[in-house]
Chain A
Amino acid sequence: MYVAVKGGERAIENAHAWLAEERRGDTSVAELSIAQIREQLSLAVNRVMAEGSLFDPDLAALAIKQSRGDLIEAIFLIRAYRTTLPRFGASLPVETGDMACDRRISATFKDAPGGQVLGPTFDYTHRLLDFKLAAEGEVAPAAEGTPREEATPHITEFLQGEDVIQREPVGEAVPGDLTREPMEFPADRALRLQSLTRGDEGFILGMAYSTQRGYARNHAFVGELRIGKVAVEMEIPELGFAIEIGELELTECETVNQFQGSKTEPPQFTRGYGLVFGQSERKSIAMALVDRALRWEELGEDNLGAVAQDEEFVLSHSDNIQATGFLEHIKLPHYVDFQSELELVRKLRREAEERTAGYQEAAE
């Protein structure tokens, strides 16, 4: 005798309890603290903050702990939390020119005011597993220098002085907010950049890579890559002036791209721009390449039919929270739809068999 399956509620509760147990793992191994994740898995924390669109290292670390290290799940936790937060205002645009740089490199000039500063980078490390890390041990202190007092000017400013790089239009318009207004196409550049900076690192990387391999190729030089802290300032109406309310770590990448000139523009270099929370170097370079590819129309270039030029394609598919939700929803029951497909396939097969039988009779 068939009894309809009941007990979804208890099954869910049991699954959650089991999940909590698995998350903790072997209890004879010490539990991870939020501070440990924040300090020792900081690049994972940075990615969660960037794609979660919320700069809060402690919350990002908590999300990573709760998600068992599944970063997309952690990003989802942060996004769901972020959307509940009240908004009490908007900051002034951050001045990346005033950034206290931990890292600042240029691939276009051997040296420039501010110098080349490698900073804490994986570049030039040999990717050999360091078995010493398997044993606990102290880290030898790194050499210290004196931080630069003055602001480090942007490399592109030097190019702009000579007028060999395109000037960006200055606008007074308040940029749109893709978390408060539904995305509509065509999107302006501000919205595109918002979407790219919270987009999935792997997706943006793949799109950028495709431009390097010839799908809307536009050779990019890393004019400058800088990582460091910037002050966040906000105008307080009661005070009548801006005060510093906090500090953000950002990675900024400006690319300098080839440009042949068009009917309306003399030959000059063009730009791509990437700006991402935290130390997120790969993401910011990739973002700059995709930004540049998406600018084909305003720069009077040809649409080569490459995906990275296709704003609707790129922006509609870059968000990993949307993508993973929709992808994984096919785990949910679909037996009503499947049943109707099953009936249809059976009917079509029956009709096809009848037709075949009819032909055979006619032939005989």
Chain B
Amino acid sequence: MSEYNFAYLDEQTKRMIRRAILKGLAVPGYQVPFASREMPMPYGWGTGGVQVSAATLTPEDTFKVIDQGADDTTNAVSIRKFFENTAGVAVTEETEKATVIQTRHRIPEAELTEDQILVYQVPIPEPLRFLEPRETETRKMHSLEEYGLMHVKLYEDISQHGDIATSYAYPVMVQDRYVMDPSPIPKFDNPKLEMSAIQLFGAGREQRIYAVPPHTKVVSLDFEDYPFEATKADHACDLCGAENSYLDEVILDDAGNRMFVCSDTDYCRSRRAAGHVGRLGTEDAA
């Protein structure tokens, strides 16, 4: 591919995005406006993550893309192919081998290292958006650290449902300063937000980039008497037997039979390769 610059975007644009990334890293959890470009895939389909990846990738990188934890979902395939074509970088499905991982809706089960960058696709970067639709207002609320509305929302959840009724995109407080939307990851993944890798969040349509540097304090919002709880289906993976991984529920037939499988396909594959077998797995399933 010679018609396009390395990783599609021109160098000026990448520089502009890198500046936003650096600012984001310097002010963890703060949403940095950036002049998002039209990409050759639709807004809402990962254009923010794609632009951040494009500005982050170097020719030596090994790239992995997951959607819902899986490498083989159609949009993950499409984005991986885009960078194979435009950047010519090596790609992998193995979490450990990747240097840059673009993700939608999950954090990999395997612990990431300081040599890795995790790029999130973000649909609505503003954690206060559904409480206050106006950007002019929410920016003011962040600058004044005025997060009372969010606590009232969580409190109302408890008084109405007996629980905090947010199961994904669960808001977090970053380094005691900014309330941040961790993108629509299940709240099961929230504890993993404190990690050794660099985490970058890109929202293309909403023109925002934000970041969590390695080892930054990230606390899921809660109350003393209603502490945050990372939940998942109360099962083990039916293929690899893992009891600590986030599970997808698969409907097997019209008699109501279901099975539960790891949402992180690479994690499941590597466990099966190591000889772990679940309820419905066979040893050669991998």
Contact = CB atoms under 8 A, between A and B. Distances in A.
Contact of B136 (A312, A329, A339): A312
Given A12-B77, A325-B205, A340 B168 contact: yes
Interface in B65-86: 67-69, 72-78, 81
Contacts of A130: none
Contact of A337 (B45, B77, B105, B285): B105
B34 A182 contact: yes
A332 B72 CA distance: 13
A332 B45 contact: yes
B247 interface: yes
A148 interface: no
A351 B186 contact: no
A336 B78 contact: no
Contact of B239 (A2, A86, A184): A2
Given A186-B136, A327-B44, A339-B247, A179 B35 contact: yes
A12 B74 contact: yes
Nearest to B137: A312
B186 A5 contact: no
A316 B43 CA distance: 14
A65 B252 CA distance: 42
Contact of A351 (B163, B250, B252): B163
B135 to A, nearest CB: 6
B184 interface: yes
Contact of A344 (B76, B167, B247): B167
Contacts of B232: 343
Contacts of A157: none
A312 B35 contact: no
Interface in B13-46: 33-40, 42-45
A348 interface: yes
Nearest to A15: B74
A5 B251 CA distance: 13
A335 B68 contact: yes
Interface stretch (B147-155, B171-179, B215-223, B259-267): B259-267
Contacts of B64: none
Contact of B38 (A80, A180, A182): A80
Given A12-B78, A80-B40, A336-B68, A4 B261 contact: yes
B282 interface: yes
A325 B44 contact: yes
B96 to A, nearest CB: 20
B252 A2 contact: yes
Contacts of A110: none
Contacts of B74: 8, 11-12, 333
Contact of B280 (A2, A180, A181, A347): A2
Interface in A91-127: none
A334 B261 contact: no
A264 interface: no
A341 B167 contact: yes
Contacts of B114: none
A182 B186 CA distance: 30
A326 B33 contact: no
B61 interface: no
Contacts of B250: 2
Nearest to B163: A348
A351 B168 contact: no
Contacts of A5: 72
Interface of B: 4, 10, 33-40, 42-45, 47, 67-69, 72-78, 81, 104-106, 123, 134-136, 161-163, 165, 167-169, 184-188, 205, 207, 231-233, 238-239, 246-250, 252, 259, 261, 263, 265, 268, 280, 282, 285
Task: Give the 3 A-B CB pairs with smallest separation, nearest first.
Answer: A325-B43, A329-B44, A325-B42
27 contacts: A2-B250, A2-B280, A4-B268, A7-B72, A9-B77, A76-B38, A76-B42, A80-B38, A82-B38, A83-B37, A83-B38, A325-B45, A325-B47, A326-B123, A327-B44, A328-B42, A329-B42, A333-B73, A336-B68, A336-B184, A337-B105, A337-B168, A339-B263, A340-B188, A340-B231, A343-B167, A348-B162
